[in-house]
A and B are shown apart, each in its own frame.
Chain A
C-alpha cells in the first residue's frame, strides 16, 4: 500500500466506517442483542480511525484528497486540517462514551425504532461536514445529519417528542433552504464551490449584491444551525424531549457543526473584517450569551437549563469569530473542543440524576448527595468547568477568548462574557443545590443505583476535562496551530493546489 493510498483511506474512514456500521446495524434491526456489541466495537473502530487521522494530520499538517482522480478543483474533495481532525477525534471519543451510556439508557423500543443505524448515520454526517472540502457537500452532509437527527428525535414517539421534532424540523429545514440559496448565489458569483478554489477566487471579485446576499444567507443558515440569538428557539423546544443518550450527543455535536461551518466560511471565504459583518457577529454573540443564560435561569427542568446553556456558550465561540485575531480564533477552537466534552457530559449526568432520583424536575428531586455522593462529585467537574472556574478546561477556554477580546479592543464583549459566566455558575449551583443538597420532597424507600455503563462515560469525560484543565499548554498550542489555517487561507489553498500529489505538506509557523 502506497503512502498516497494510506492517506486517502485515513481521510475517508471517519465517514465510511460509520456508514458501513449504519448498514450493518440496520441489517441486525430485529436482533437488539447483537446490535449492542456490534455498535460498541464499531464505535471503537471509529475512534481508532479518527486517531489515525489526527496522527496523519500532525505529520502532514493538511491532508487533501480528490475523489475519482478528477483534477483540482473539479472533483469532490475531502480536506483535513488540524481543526477538522481535532473535531473528528472529539466526535469519536464522544460517540464511544455516549454509545456505552446507551447500553443501559436505551430500551428495546428505541432499538426497534432504529437507534443504532440512525446514530451511526448521524456520526457519518457530522464527520462528513467536518471533512468536506466544498460548500455544496457541506449542504449534503448537513442534510444527512438533519434527517438522521430527526429520526433520533422522534424515536420514542411520545407527544412531547413529536411536538419538539416539528419545531426542530421546520426551523432547520428553513435553515438548510437558506443555505442552499447562499450556495446558488455563491456559485453564480464565483463559478466554483470548492473551499480552496473559492478562497483563491473570491478576493479578486468586486462585492456584488449576490455575494453580499450569499454572505448574509450563510450567516442566517449557520446561525439557525448553531442556535444563535434570535434563531435559537427550536433548540430548547426539542433537545429535552429525546432520550438522554440522544440529547447528549445532540448537545455535544450538532450545534458545533454549525459553528464550525461558520468558522470555515467566514474566515476562508468571507472574512469578518472585510465583509463588514464583524459588528453583527459581535452583537449577536453578546445577545446569544445573555439570552441563553437568562433563559436557563428561569428553568426547573435540568435538560431545559442545559439546553439554554448550549445557546449561551455558542456566544463565546462567536466572540472568537467576531474578534478574528489568531489568538481569538485559537481560543474559540479550544472552546469548541472543551464545550463538546463538557456539555455532553452534563447531559449524561442529567440522565444519571434521572436514573438516581426518578425525575428530572428539580423541584421534585433532591437528597442525592446523601445517597449518591460520587455522582455529586462527578457533577461538579463539568458544571464548574462550564461556568469557567480554574483549574478546569472551561477556565482556559474562557480565559483565551476574554483575553483576546481585551487585546482586540472589544472589552465590552469581555464584560458580557464574564457576566454570563457568573450567571452560568448561578444555574449550575441551582442544579447542585436542588438535586443533590436539599432534602428530597418524599423520602425514597430504596436507593436507585446508577449502573456502571452510565457512570463510566461520565468518569471518562470528566477525566478529559480535568486533563485539559491541569495540562492546558499542549491543547492551547494545538488550537493555535489549528487557527493558522483559519487566519491564513493561503496555507489551505496551497495544500490544495500547491503540489502535484494530492497530499500537500505545508510548514506552519507558530502564530503569536
Chain B
C-alpha cells in the first residue's frame, strides 16, 4: 500500500515538474499546482498510513487510542491546501493579466521587466505602442 502511495506521489510530482518546464504560462501554473498537490500527499504520508479509525478521544480517556489515525498531518494538509489554493488562484489571475497586458503566454517572449536595464538587450521594437487593455 505504502509503495503504491509513494509511487503516486512520484508520478504527480514528476508530472508537475514536466509541466513547469514548459514555456506556456498556464502550463507552468498547472505544474506548480500539481507539485503542491504532491507535497500535500507527502505530508499525509509522513503521518503514516494504515489506520482509518477517526482521531476522537473516547469518553473517560485522556489520550487517543493507539489505532487512531494521526490528526496532525491532516491539519497540516488542510492548512497547506488552503494556502496553496489561494496562491494558485493568484497565479492564474496573474497569468490572465499578463495575457491581457503583454499579449502573450509564452514565458520566453516576456522581457518587459528586464529590457529596462540590460546592456545586452536587443533594441526595443517600436511597433507595439498600443496594448490591449482589459
Q: Could you tell me which A residues sit within 8 Å of B by CB distance?
A: 136, 139-140, 143, 146-147, 150, 154, 157, 159-167, 169-170, 173-174, 176-177, 180-181, 183-185, 187-189, 236-238, 240-241, 298-301, 303-304, 361
Chain A residues in 8 Å Cβ range of B32: 170, 173-174, 177
Given contacts A143-B87, A174-B35, contact A136 B76 (CB under 8 A): yes
Interface pairs (21), CB distance under 8 Å? A139-B80, A150-B90, A159-B102, A159-B131, A162-B97, A162-B101, A163-B113, A165-B94, A166-B25, A166-B95, A173-B91, A180-B43, A180-B80, A181-B39, A184-B73, A187-B43, A187-B76, A240-B117, A241-B116, A299-B119, A361-B116
Instruction: Please indicate the chain A residues that have their CB under 8 angstroms from the CB of B112 in the complex.
Output: 159-160, 162-163
**Known contacts being A159-B131, A169-B90, A174-B32, is A184 close to B119, with CB within 8 Å?**
no
Docked pose: A361 CA to B110 CA in angstroms: 21
Q: Shortest Cβ distance from B92 into chain A, in angstroms?
A: 11
Q: Which residue of A lies closest to B75 (CB)?
A: A136
Least CB distance from A197 to B in Å reads 13
Name the residue of chain A whose CB is nearest to the CB of B111: A163
Q: Cα distance A300–B115 when bound, in Å?
A: 12
B98 at the interface (CB under 8 A from A): yes
Judge if B69 is at the interface, Cβ distance under 8 Å. Answer: no
* Nearest A-chain residue to B73, judged by Cβ: A187
Instruction: Please state if A173 and B87 are interface contacts (CB–CB under 8 Å).
Output: yes
Smallest CB separation, A293 vs chain B (Å): 16
Decide if A166 touches B94 in the complex (CB within 8 Å): yes
Given contacts A167-B113, A361-B116, A361-B117, 13 further A-B contacts (CB under 8 A): A136-B79, A147-B90, A166-B107, A170-B29, A173-B91, A177-B36, A177-B39, A180-B36, A184-B42, A238-B113, A240-B117, A298-B118, A299-B119
Enumerate B27-45 residues with CB–CB distance to A below 8 Å.
28-29, 32, 35-36, 38-40, 42-43, 45
In the assembled complex, B65 has its CB within 8 A of some CB on chain A: no
Decide yes or no whether B53 CB sits under 8 A from chain A.
Answer: no
A298 and B119: CB pair below 8 A? yes
Contact A185–B90 (Cβ < 8 Å):
no
CA of A154 to CA of B90, assembled, Å: 11
Asked whether A301 lies within 8 Å of B116 as measured between CB atoms, the reply is: yes
In the bound assembly, the distance between CA atoms of A185 and B98 in angstroms comes to: 35
CA distance A136 to B78 in the complex (A): 12
Per-position 1/0 for B110-132, Cβ under 8 A of A: 11111111111000000000010
Docked pose: A159 CA to B114 CA in angstroms:
11
A170 interface neighbour in B28, B42, B80, Cβ under 8 Å: B28
In the complex, chain B residues whose CB is within 8 Å of the CB of A164 = 113
B76 with A162: CB separation less than 8 A: no
Give bound CA distance, A189 to B40, whole Å. Answer: 16
**Given known A-B contacts A169-B91, A174-B35, A157 and B116 have beta carbons under 8 A apart:** no
Q: Do B46 and A185 touch (CB < 8 A)?
A: yes
Interface majority SS (helix, strand, loop, mixed), chain A: helix
CB distance from A164 to the nearest CB of B (A): 4
| Among A150, A176, A236, A298, residue most surrounded by chain B Cβ atoms (within 10 Å) | A176
B68 on interface, CB distance cutoff 8 Å: no
- Residue of B25, B43, B46, B91 with highest tally of chain A CB at under 10 A: B46
- Nearest A residue to B116 via CB reads A301
Complex CA gap A371/B54 in Å reads 74
Chain B positions within 8 Å of A300 at CB level: 117, 119
Give Cα A361–Cα B45 distance, bound, in whole angstroms: 52
Give B37 Cβ to nearest chain A Cβ, in Å: 9
Residues of B within 8 A of A176 (CB): 87
Question: In the complex, which residue of chain A has the Cβ closest to the Cβ of B43?
Answer: A184
B11 contacts the other chain (CB 8 A):
no
A137 shortest CB reach to chain B, Å: 9
Chain A nearest CB, measured from B7 CB (Å): 16
Cα of A448 to Cα of B92 in the assembled complex, Å: 41
Interface residue B86 (Cβ < 8 Å from any Cβ of A): yes
Q: Which residues of B contact A361 (CB under 8 A)?
A: 116-117
Assembled-state Cα–Cα distance A143/B117 (Å): 30
Give chain A residues whose Cβ lies under 8 Å from the Cβ of B113.
Answer: 160-161, 163-164, 167, 237-238, 240-241
CB distance from B57 to the nearest CB of A (A): 14
Q: In the assembled complex, which residues on chain B have CB atoms less than 8 Å from the CB atom of A304? A: 116-118
B116 touches A143 (CB 8 A): no
User: Across the interface, which residues of A come within 8 angstroms of B38, CB to CB?
Assistant: 181
A179 to B41 Cα, complex, angstroms = 14
On chain A, the residues within 8 Å of B42 by CB distance are 180-181, 184-185
For the complex, give the distance between the alpha carbons of A184 and B44 in Å: 8
CB distance from A68 to the nearest CB of B (A): 14
Among all A-B residue pairs, the 5 with the closest Cβ atoms? A188-B46, A301-B117, A304-B117, A184-B43, A164-B113
A184 engages B107 (CB within 8 Å): no
Residues of A within 8 A of B94 (CB): 150, 154, 162, 165-166, 169
| Closest A residue by C-beta to B20 | A174
| B36 contact set on A, CB distance < 8 A | 173, 177, 180
- Taking the nearest CB of chain A, how far is it from the CB of B88, in angstroms? 8
In the assembled complex, the Cα of A154 lies from the Cα of B93 at a distance in Å of 12
What A residues does B118 contact at CB under 8 A? 298-299, 304
- Flag if A184 contacts B83 (CB, 8 Å): no
The answer to whether B83 touches A140 (Cβ under 8 A) is: yes
Are B87 and A184 closer than 8 Å at their CB atoms?
Answer: no
Whether a CB of chain A sits under 8 angstroms from the CB of B47 is yes
